[in-house]
Every structure is written in C-alpha cells, then in structure tokens.
Amino acid sequence: MLVHAHGIAVSLPSGWDARIRWAQPAETAAPPALRLPGVAVPSDGTTNTVTHIANFRLPERRGDYGSRAVDLMRSRHVFAALVEFDPEAAETPLFGTAGVPRVRAARFSPNAMQRVMPRMCGAQWFFHVSDRAFCLYGVLGSHAMRRALAAQLDGVVSRILIAPR
Amino acid sequence: MTILVVAESIALALLTVLVVSLLRSHAEILRALHDLGVSLDPSQPAAARTFDLRDTATRPHTKHSDPKPGPLSDVFDLMGTTPDGEVAAIAVANSDGPTLLAFLSSGCLTCRDFWDMLGRGETIELGGRDASVVALTRGPGDESPAEVAALTSSSLTTLMSSEAFEDYGVPVSPYFVLIDGGRVVGEGAASSWVQLRNLLGKAVADGAHGRTRRELLSGRLRAALVDADLRAAGIGPDHPSLRPDQQDH
C-alpha cells in the first residue's frame, strides 16, 4: 500500500500502518532525550512534517516521537518516526549525512529511547534529503530480537522516498 | 498450402493480441510512474531516492493491498485522511485481532448514537477479543471534516475515505463490517447498538460453520445451499413442480 503526502512517500507491506501530518512548530526541535549538547538546531517556526510507520495499529493520540504509540508495543512490534526539521537545518553538521539511512540492529540500544522501557530499544539517525532535514527515530519491541525486527523496519524505511518541498 | 496460410494467420492474430496487451501494460506502468512523479527523462541526472511529487496532501493516493488468496478477496486496507487532515493508511487485511469498520456519516441521525457509543470506547467482542474500531465517513469532498471532527473523539480512529465505501460496497449509513483473520465475518446495517450486537453475533455463528455472511449474501454459495435444501426436500431438477407444461397434460 502506497501512502504519500507533503512530498513523502512510503510503500507499506501488508499489516503496516502509516500516518503523515504537519506538525505544529515546537519550541524545541528535538525531544530532551535526543538533544545533543552544544548543538543548536535551527527552529524558525516553519511547519514541518511528521511521519509515523508501524506494524501495529497506531493510536490517534501520539507524540511526534511516538509517545503513547510506543506504550502499546509488544515484542514483535516496530515503530519509526520521521520528524522533519526546518530547511536551514539541512546545512548543519548534525544533518550532514545525505540520504535515508539504513536501519541496522547494531545501532539500537535500550538507552537510546526517549523514555527507557523494559526489553525495548531505540535508535536515531539525522540526515538530509532533497534539501530537507530529518530525524529518524526507530523503536523495536524487543532488544533480544533486534536483528529480525531491525530488518523488518529497514525493509520499509529503505523504500521511503522524499521529494523537495 | 491453405492450411499453412490459415495457421500463419492465426499465429499472427495471437501475436497481435500479445503485443497490444504488452503495450497496454507498459502504458499503465508509465502512468503509475508519472503519478508518483518519477521522471524518465534521460537528460536529468539520476537522483537515487529523490523524486518530484505533485502535492497530494488533499488527495491521498489509494492503493489496495494484495487481497488474501482464496475465493473471497473482499478485505481491503484503508486509506484516507483524518478529520484534522492527517493522511492515514490503516491495515485491516492482516491486522492483529478483529476489526470493526463503522461506516457512518455526519448527517444521519441514527449515526449519532453510534458516534456516542464508539467515542466512549464501546466495541464488539469476538471470541473473547475486543475488536478494534475504525469509524469511516466519506471523503472530504463529500463530508465536512469539521462536522466529522465534532462527532468523533480523540481516542476513536476516524478516517474519511470515499474509497472505503466503494471497496466494501456500503449501501447505507450506518453500516458495519466485522473483519477477523483477513475475512469479513459479519456485516450489515443496524439502527441501534443492541441490534448491531445481535446482527454480528449471528454472523459470527454462521462463520463457525465455515460460511461467512458475505459468502451467503453475495450468492456465491447461496445457489449451492439452495440446491442442497431442495434435494433434501426431495425436489430435484426433474421434479414435476418445475415443469408446469407437463402438469397440464
């Protein structure tokens, strides 16, 4: 199933949900758990996109980085949030990596979650595509099964296409 | 010689049909690529993983999921927008647990009770499992997002999608479809919550005998069932009651 909006296209396998919306301008550009010391992320109030993909039914109320959705996850579930930042951020070193990243199990850690949850793990990537800056935040329902789950998530993330704004 | 000419003519005709089919398929592929904004212009530099999309924020592109194999491929994943404008794709065909699709509208008074019940978290239980609920209205071109937003609740998954009404052949609102294991196990119109529970309860019971309501309603098994009932009553194809002209003699 193909879902696309605002220049972002996601090709979903059977059994996956996806949501794409405009996010409200935030006072902080990154959640506290992911903010890097000494790094300033441009935030001029531009309305940016938030994309959520998951292999489980997404709840209606969700935070940009998946709060409330992550609470529903079981061991076989995966979730990813693709959060867009202001265009100026694409020129900063933090977002210097070009292209949608590959999701590898080795990047996931129980300590890399926005909120540490038992037996789960998370990972984040910062990158730019088509002069647009993004943070990809992935959550796996089981750290023990991260190889299989990361491969599932990579299969979907690798098919994300992003056009210029 | 004549036979040879005829054989060659037949082969030529078959080849012509094949070529036309291939050209048509190629045209459809090109059209789909164009809709995705993929440029096939060789003069443009290759840009992996980037492409030019037309703005489709107000017109979500609908693609059906591959139907489950079997004689009744009548379960479709959902695609549309939420009342607040979020583009949403919701898996139904291969989702965990049963799903209740509630086809409602903002204009029908009978729907108001269902909006209230579903907004409070009411659902249908199937084999000890609560069905997850998706409330559906027609798309923003046919329904007012503001009016739908006023009826739904923040906890109720609500999708505006005219395509869903077409996919499921919904004849009227309110209308309900219960899906489990990739199959429609019950469906129908109901004017009250009690009536809905009774309707779907019977449908589930029918499903326990290997037949779904959709199978019965669509007639694909109905003919076989009718024949079986007639034979059980001693009425076969040669029964006199089926030949009124012979009865007159």
What pLDDT is recorded for position B34? 56
Q: Are B117 and B152 in contact (CB under 8 A)?
A: no
Interface test mutation site (partner B, options A12, A17, A73, A97, max chain B beta carbons within 10 A) = A17
Q: How far apart are CA B134 and CA B157, in angstroms?
A: 5
> How deeply is B213 buried, as exposed, middle or buried, from its count of CB atoms within 10 A (0-12, 13-18, 19+)?
buried
Q: How far apart are CA B69 and CA B182, in angstroms?
A: 10
Shortest CA distance to A113 belongs to which of A146, A59, A70? A70
pLDDT in tens, B90-119: 999 877 788 999 999 999 999 999 999 998
Residue A80 is encoded by which pair of tokens?
A: 């990813």
Mean pLDDT within B139-151 = 95
User: Between chains, do B157 and A60 touch, taking CB under 8 Å as contact?
Assistant: yes
pLDDT in tens, A17-67: 999 998 865 544 454 444 444 444 545 555 799 999 999 999 998 999 999
Which of the listed ranges A91-105, B120-134, B233-247 does the model predict with the highest average pLDDT? A91-105
Residue in B closest to A50 by C-alpha:
B86
Return mean pLDDT, chain B.
77
Q: How far apart are CA B5 and CA B8, in angstroms?
A: 5
Tell whether A130 is within 8 A of chain B (Cβ).
yes
Provide the whole-model pTM. 0.72
